[in-house]
Amino acid sequence: MTLVFSNKPKVNYIRFNLTLVRHAETYANAEGIIQGILDTELSNTGYHQSRALGLHLQYHRFTHIYSSDLKRAAEKDAP
């Protein structure tokens, strides 16, 4: 009779989906300006991009949402 012992700890894995969304186009983006923490607003194109994203994600269910407090992120998150 052979006894086999394993000293490997049992690992429980957690599966989850991660959705990352970048802000839509701003007026600064359209002019080629890297804005960093500058608080700029969405351009007209950016507004339409964010609306299209909202339609695409409307039936997804999220347990957590984290967002910047800058205008370009807040405008996107508004209903």
Per-residue pLDDT tens listing for the chain (79 residues): 666 666 777 888 888 899 999 888 999 999 998 888 888 889 999 999 999 999 999 999 999 988 888 877 776 544 4
15 belongs to a structural domain: no
16 belongs to a structural domain: no
61 in a labelled binding site:
no
Helix (H, G, I), strand (E, B) or coil at 7: coil
25 in a labelled binding site:
yes
- Tally of structural domains, the chain: 1
67 belongs to a structural domain: yes
28 in a labelled binding site:
yes
26 in a labelled binding site:
yes
Rg from Cα positions in the chain? 21
Could you tell me if 42 and 64 are in contact, meaning their C-beta atoms sit under 8 angstroms apart? Answer: no
Instruction: Please work out, in degrees rounded to the nearest 5, the angle formed at the alpha carbon of residue 55 by the alpha carbons of 36 and 49.
Output: 35
60 in a labelled binding site:
no
69: domain range?
27-77
